[in-house]
Amino acid sequence: MLRLVFLGTSGAMPTAARNLSGLSVRHGREHYLVDCGEGTQRQLIRYGAGFDVTAICFTHLHADHYVGAIGFVRTLSMLGRERPLDVYAPVPSLEFLERLLKGGTDPLSFEIRVREVEPGERVRRDGATLVPWATRHRIAPVGWVLAEDPRPGRFHPERAREAGVPEGELWGELQRGRPVTLGDGRVVVPEGIVDPPRRGRLLAVSGDTRPCPATVEAVRGVDLLVHEATFGDAEEARAVETTHSTAREAGRVAREAGVRRLVLTHLSSRYDTDAATLREQAAGEFPGEVVVAHDGMVVELGYPE
């Protein structure tokens, strides 16, 4: 399963319809939160995304992206959480997050493990690697790529039978890419019986950023790109001034990077009820599927084939 629930899709200020930034990404045994703006814990409840978060990945430490984490960890503690919580954020953030999340009141019921990350670093998780890349914003920001581990190639039972491999445990070994030894001492290799491994799914989340070549490079060919689109064409100058992107610019990044699908988020309050305009402007650049996220939107990411 690779399932996204958009918990907050507003930029800088919340509106009646849109909460501040927060994205739930559920993948196998992992449940990531990408950013955790104010009110995120209530959004997790509201949309049934669950409190079993295994890691929070911050894109940067602007208040609209982190304030919600303070209350969320307190709630988890009140619920008696025991499992450690991993927190990743771009350098420099260690001291700040340590104080923010652990400081002050009663001790927490669980451990918070804060780790600063540098662009290009690889964070190993269960079934995937998280890779932050350097984006362009007012304070040290990163985007996050979730690269799922490759999947074993397709298994051809008829070829296994032809090669004289009896059904059972040995089939599993071949599927895992290992040679097997038969009863008569013959060794059968997986090549020809099992197709080469298939790449896993790729998801990228930009966080707040100007459009930049590093993003195009980092998100090349991903299955789904979640890119900020704070403004529309009319506010292009404002996008430059505040180091955000327009929907059209997000569309351009998606096209240049050859991504499969694009989701726009982090909308300025003036587009709160006019998502269609942003969609059209992005679609003017990007020929693939474009969607403007709304709070509670669920996206299931299937396998590429």
Which positions are catalytic?
A: 64
Closest separation in Å from C-beta 12 to Zn ion: 6
145 closest CA partner among 213, 267, 227: 227
Q: Which is nearer to Zn ion, 175 or 243 (CB)?
A: 243
Stretch that binds Zn ion, among 63-71, 190-198, 216-224, 283-291 (CB under 5 A): 63-71
Nearer to Zn ion, 62 or 248 (CB): 62
Is 244 a binding residue for Zn ion by CB under 5 A? The answer is no
Chain positions 85 to 114 lying near Zn ion, rule: CB under 5 A, are none
Backbone angles phi, psi at 23, to 5 degrees: -140, 125
Helices (H) and strands (E) in the chain, counts: 9, 16
Among 18, 27, 31, 62, binds Zn ion (CB under 5 A): 62
Residue count, binding to Zn ion (CB under 5 A): 3
Interface residue with Zn ion, options 30, 35, 38, 64 (CB under 5 A): 64
Q: Which of 106, 25, 38, 112 is nearest to 68 (CA)?
A: 38
Q: What is the closest distance, in whole angstroms, from the C-beta atom of residue 279 to Zn ion in the complex?
A: 20
- Decide: 59 and 47 in contact? Cβ < 8 Å: no
CA distance 190 to 181: 11
Q: Which is nearer to Zn ion, 24 or 245 (CB)?
A: 245
Name the residue nearer to Zn ion (CB basis): 41 or 209: 209
User: 63, exposed or middle or buried, with CB in 10 Å at 0-12, 13-18, 19+?
Assistant: exposed
User: Which of 86, 208, 249, 285 forms a contact with Zn ion (CB under 5 A)?
Assistant: 208
Q: Is the dihedral of CA 227, 230, 235, 237 positive or negative?
A: negative
Binding site for Zn ion (CB under 5 A): 62, 64, 208
